[in-house]
Structure formats: structure tokens, C-alpha cells
Amino acid sequence: MRALIITTGSRGDVQPFVALARALTREGHGAVVAAPRRFAPLASRHGTDFLPMDEGVLALQDDLAHRGTLAALTSARAVGPLMRAWLDDVARLSDAGCDVVVHVPKALGAADLADLLGVPSIAVLTLPLYTPTAEFASPLVPVRVPRFLHRPSWPLAAAVEAPYRGLLRRWRSEKLGLHGRSASLSERIAAGGALHIWSRHLVPSPADWPPDAAPSGALLLPSEDGWAPPDELARFLDAGSAPVYVGFGSMVSRDAAELTRTLVEGVRLSGHRAVLATGWGALSAAGEASDDVLVVDEAPHDRLFPHMAAVVHHGGAGTTAAALRAGVPQVVRPFVGDQWFWGDRVRRAGVGPAPLTGTLTPQRLAAAIDRAREHADRARLLAGDVREEESTAAERAVRRVLAAVAHTR
């Protein structure tokens, strides 16, 4: 069996697919990863075949980093042509040859390429989006809703696809020669299921889900040899007790300087030092570095988080999973989308307090860090269960892909 694996987005969107390709190869199958060309070195380091894809959308995101919300809003008109360039690259993959197309939902056109090739497609999700349940509302709902609204909330995921349906329909006709309506991702998953790669310790499989929807666990790459903390970071870690990590990844904020001052003061009130990761613009490091605050651009979460007393973050799926795996308590300050969902899952798992919503003050952050530290023992215990789950996650994912192929033969 040969799998064509199509993904796009951040490094966190690509790493699980390289891990899946490695797992398929270990079991004697063929696999090639098609992703933005910037990730070619990552695939090469892990011995994975790679097809470089257009990365115009990512370049736009890079350009918008640190430029604030207004710049993000005014750039919307540029997205359409960039998405078309991505789609045209997807069309060129028709010569790759495969028995199944495995893709991340944001890889527009991947499932349509499978239609052209006459092979099954299977979406890989890092959070529950398309398989309804009565146990909890869609993660896209940012507030708690009554139980009777849980199942009706799930069609929200289909609305995410709506802005691109016209573009996708034209492209299918012009480039693939496929006319008529394309099935939505929601419809495809309802018919053939999906591969869910989160931890069951954060989101257990609901009782009303089919067995093949059960989460496999996160797909991880082995740690890359050769990384060592920069001298300044190593000295900071050795200079005192474990600090608190504060970072919001690709989020942006209206007043980065004010938010940063609030966070730094809150960490100090809690009696801890801070490692401040500036990210894309939510935080501003200007003038914040001091004996008890170290500013970094970024560092591998799997290497850095085990040295932390707690992790304060935005509630991204990847960051939440990395902190869970590291065995450190978490404080989630959600910004958008599914981040409220992951913050609540942190609370439910007993590895942190309820997510911080509303007006953030230093006092509220300090109190949240204090409450998070009360969950340190639970976080360490659960980390062992998560690592055990992840040790066999790739094998479960491979079986799910093979089942999708077998179902269509």
C-alpha cells in the first residue's frame, strides 16, 4: 500500500504526518509527505520521502507576524489567490501514485484529488470537529451550552469550509475535470470516518461514537539529536528554581506591551521566575529581560517544558499536548477557536485550573499559577499514562489507514 500524505500549516501540523509516514514505512508500506517546501529538511532528517508544495499562505502569515490584528484583517483579500496556488500544486500531485490520500482538514483539495484518483481519503484531526456527540459541544463553541444543544452545535465545523467552496468548485472543474458539487469534509467523515490523533486522557471517546473514531494518541517524531539550550537559557535554568513558561505561539494581541507587563507581574507575584516566548505578536519583549525574566524567540517544547514549574499558554492543541506529556501543570489563557475547549479539558484532566477568561490582571494570573502548582502531582502521574499511550499510537494509526483502504476494495 502506498499513501500520499498531504498537510500544511505550522511545524506542529506537519510533524505528525512525518511520524505517520515513518510508521507506514516501518511496516513495509510506501508513504510520501506533500507539504510546504520549508519542511523538506524536517522530512529529510527523518528519512521520509517528500514533495514540496506552495507555501504562499504561510509566507503571508510570516509577514503578518508581530504586525497586529489590523494587518491580519486587511490581508484577507490576498488569501484567495494564494489558496488557488496551493490548489494548483495539489493538482500536480495526481502523478504521485497512491492507494490512499491522508490529509489534514486545512489541506484544501486533498480529498478532491482522491476523487480524481479513485482512491479513499482519510482526514487526520488533532481535535474533535466532525463526529457529533451528545456528551459535549463542538470545540468551536467558545461558551458552555446546555446539554440539549451539544449535538446541534456540531454543524459549525462545516461553516469553516464555506468561504472556499466556490474556489474549490472552480478548481475541481478547471484542473481536475471533476464537475458538480464536491462532498464537504463533514459528509466525507460521516461516510468514512477520520483518524483522531489526540490523547484519550484529555478527550476520551464518547459513548455515542463508533469504535473507529476512538483517538489513537499523538503521533510523535523521535527527539532530534544535537539540540542543546543556548548558553543564556542554560545559565538561566541553572540559576534558580524552576521558572514558569509564558508563551502564546502564533496569537496576536491588541496591546502586546500591556499584556506582557501583566503576565510578567503576575508570574513575579506568584514567586516564580519566567521564561517568556515572544511568538508572533501576542507578547512584546521590549524592556522585560531581567535577572528573573528570560526572553526567547522559541525553543522545542519537548526539551523546554520538563524544566518548567508550570506552563502558561493559549490553549493550542499542540502546546496543550506537549505540556501534558512533559508532566507540568498548565494555565490556559484562550484567545480564539478551540482554545477554550482545550483549557476546559486541562481542568477536567486535573492538570490545571479553569481557563483564564475575561479581564486578565496580575493578581488573577498569580492565583491561577498557585492553583496550577497544586496539580503538579497529578500532571506528573498523567504524563506517564500519556507516554505509554503514545508508544503504540503510530501502530494504531497505521491500522486505521489500512482499514480505510480495505473498506473500499
Which residues, other chains included, contact 189 with Cβ-Cβ below 8 Å and sequence gap of 6+? Answer: 123, 130, 131
**Helix (H) / strand (E) containing 4:** strand 2-6
Whether 109 and 130 have beta carbons less than 8 Å apart is answered as no
Q: Judge whether 2-222+389-407 and 231-388 match in fold.
A: yes
What three-state secondary structure class fits 299? Answer: coil
Whether 378 and 353 have beta carbons less than 8 Å apart is answered as no
> How far apart, in Å, are the Cα atoms of 389 and each of 4, 123, 198, 218, 302?
26, 21, 10, 8, 16
CB count within 10 Å of CB 358 equals 6
> In sequence order, what are the beta bridge partners of 2?
30
pTM, to two decimals: 0.89
Which residues, other chains included, contact 166 with Cβ-Cβ below 8 Å and sequence gap of 6+? Answer: none
Per-position DSSP letters for 185-238, written without gaps between them:
HHHHHHHH-EEE-S-TTTSPPPTTS-GGGS------PPPPTT----HHHHHHHH
- Give the start-to-end residue ranges of the domains of the chain: 2-222+389-407, 231-388
Distance CA 131, CA 151 (A): 10
What three-state secondary structure class fits 134? Answer: coil
Distance CA 310, CA 288 (A): 19
**Predicted pLDDT of residue 250:** 75
- Amino acid identity, position 129: L
Whether 93 and 119 have beta carbons less than 8 Å apart is answered as no
Distance CA 342, CA 320 (A): 7
Outline where 50-196 has alpha helix (H). 56-64, 68-74, 79-92, 110-117, 156-161, 165-171, 185-192
Work out whether the CA dihedral 296, 302, 304, 305 comes out positive or negative: positive
Distance CA 123, CA 104 (A): 6
**Predicted pLDDT of residue 226:** 64
**Predicted pLDDT of residue 297:** 82
- In CATH, the number for domain 2-222+389-407 is 3.40.50.2000
pLDDT one digit per residue (tens) for the chain, 409 residues: 999 999 998 887 899 999 999 999 999 999 999 999 999 999 999 999 999 999 888 887 766 655 554 455 455 567 778 899 999 999 999 998 999 999 999 999 999 999 999 999 999 999 999 999 999 999 998 888 999 999 999 998 888 788 888 999 999 999 999 998 889 899 999 888 899 999 999 999 999 999 999 999 999 988 765 678 889 999 999 999 999 999 998 777 778 889 999 999 999 999 999 999 987 677 887 667 789 999 998 788 888 999 999 999 999 988 999 999 999 999 999 998 889 999 999 999 999 999 999 999 999 999 999 999 999 999 999 999 999 999 999 999 999 999 989 877 6
Whether 119 and 98 have beta carbons less than 8 Å apart is answered as yes
231-388 folds as Rossmann fold (3.40.50)
Q: Are strands 2-6 and 30-36 parallel, antiparallel or unpaired?
A: parallel
Distance CA 97, CA 82 (A): 25
**Predicted pLDDT of residue 366:** 98
Which residues, other chains included, contact 347 with Cβ-Cβ below 8 Å and sequence gap of 6+? Answer: 353, 354, 355
